[in-house]
């Protein structure tokens, strides 16, 4: 008997959910327990923050330089321009949300004006 036969039509999704939960949840709990003992001002915490920031920066650069999906239809100059404007707004306002929102508006307006 197949999984959908046992658990109904959502059986496959339930199996994926349970497998994902079983694999990731113990690590989340371990991280939460270990994270309590790390001093936020320690060198270890600063290193973890630097590594995570570098990973996010690399992913953002990859999305801008080698886009996929709908973003691939947007020109590189427009993508880099939206990035520059967003970073500028962030630096002037010190608010990340303002920089992200501005970059999105520039990207959408630029694409609309380009006629694509």
20-71 pLDDT, tens digit each:
888 889 888 998 888 788 788 888 888 988 999 999 999 999 999 999 888 8
- The answer on 17 and 1 residing in a single domain is yes
Q: What is the pLDDT of residue 62?
A: 93
Residues 31 and 56 in one domain: no
Report how far residue 84's alpha carbon sits from residue 72's, in angstroms, rounded to the nearest whole number: 18
Cα end-to-end span (Å), the chain:
50
Question: Do both 72 and 114 map to the same domain?
Answer: yes
Q: What's the mean per-residue pLDDT of the chain?
A: 87
User: Alpha helix (H) ranges present in 8-42?
Assistant: 11-35
pLDDT over 90 percentage in the chain: 46
Count other Cβ atoms within 10 Å, centred on residue 74.
Answer: 18
pTM of the model: 0.61
Domain range for 27: 1-37
User: What's the rounded Cα separation, in Å, for the pair 76 and 66?
Assistant: 9
What is the model's pLDDT at position 12?
A: 73
Number of domains in the chain: 3
């Amino acid at each position: 008997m197949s999984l959908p036969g046992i658990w109904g039509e959502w059986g496959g999704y339930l199996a994926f959910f349970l497998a994902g939960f079983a694999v990731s949840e113990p690590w989340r709990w371990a991280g939460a327990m270990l994270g309590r003992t790390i001093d936020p001002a320690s060198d270890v915490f600063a290193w973890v923050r630097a590594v995570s920031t570098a990973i996010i920066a690399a992913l953002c650069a990859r999305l801008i330089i080698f886009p996929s999906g709908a973003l691939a239809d947007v020109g590189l100059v427009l993508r880099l321009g939206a990035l520059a404007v967003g970073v500028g707004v962030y630096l002037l306002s010190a608010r990340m949300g303002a920089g992200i929102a501005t970059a999105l508006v520039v990207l959408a307006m630029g694409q609309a004006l380009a006629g694509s």
